[in-house]
């Protein structure tokens, strides 16, 4: 079993991979979150110029609280333990957002049942993980 620090470092690397894959630069995250760019580089180190990736620095709670200003919810949810989710509680119900979440869920679920999907007609592990991210949003609204 991996120790907790190693698991958290893996999550921090996964967050960086998601940021890079979506074209979200650390400079933009710094500007929106109020966390310094150099701190973000430590929390979410990349694989710059083929160098050996270094271990991320410990991510303090104060930084996690600021990241909500800059990161999409599904990336923030990588920080939550399995079976938990970070969700924004709305002050008022946004019915257009509820509609969007429901339609996204239905489209993702339908795609997961496609015979050529990850587990054929069954829902595979990565598909289930994707679907479970949507469920808490539907319950909150």
Give the closest residue to 108 by CA, choosing from 126, 84, 93.
126
How far is residue 114's CA from residue 109's CA, in Å, rounded to a whole number? 9
DSSP notation for the chain: ---HHHHHHHHHHHHHHHHHHTT--HHHHHHHH---HHHHHHHS---GGGPPPPPPPP--HHHHHHHTTTS-HHHHGGGSPTT----PPPSS--HHHHHHHHHHHHHHHHHHTSTTSTBTTBPPHHHHHHHHHHHHHHHH-
Tell me the pTM.
Answer: 0.61
How far is residue 119's CA from residue 85's CA, in Å, rounded to a whole number? 24
What's the half-sphere exposure (Cβ side, CA atoms, 13 Å) at 101?
Answer: 20
Per-residue pLDDT for 141 more than 60?
no
Position 71 confidence tier, pLDDT thresholds 50, 70, 90: very high
pLDDT tens figures, 92-130: 877 888 888 889 889 888 988 888 888 888 988 888 887
CATH code reported for the domain at 4-79 = 1.10.260
pLDDT tens figures, 6-62: 888 889 999 999 999 999 999 999 999 999 999 999 999 987 666 667 889 999 999
Predicted confidence at residue 44, as pLDDT, reads: 95
Position 140 confidence tier, pLDDT thresholds 50, 70, 90: very low
Q: How many other β-carbons are positioned within 10 Å of the β-carbon of residue 65? A: 10
Q: Which two tokens stand for residue 36?
A: 């310094």
Predicted confidence at residue 49, as pLDDT, reads: 63
Domain ranges for the chain? 4-79, 95-140
């Amino acid at each position: 079993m991996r120790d907790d620090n190693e698991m958290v470092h893996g999550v921090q690397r996964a967050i960086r991979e998601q940021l890079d894959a979506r074209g979200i630069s650390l400079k933009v995250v710094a500007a929106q979150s109020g966390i310094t760019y150099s701190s973000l580089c430590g929390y979410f180190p990349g694989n710059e110029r083929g160098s050996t990736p270094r271990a991320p620095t410990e991510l303090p709670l104060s930084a996690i609280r600021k990241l909500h200003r800059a990161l999409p919810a599904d990336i923030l949810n990588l920080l939550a333990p399995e079976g938990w989710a970070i969700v924004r509680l709305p002050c008022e119900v946004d019915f257009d957002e509820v509609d969007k979440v429901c339609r996204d869920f239905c489209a993702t679920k339908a795609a997961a049942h496609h015979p050529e999907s990850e587990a054929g007609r069954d829902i595979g592990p990565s598909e289930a993980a994707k679907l479970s991210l949507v469920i808490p949003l539907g319950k909150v609204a």
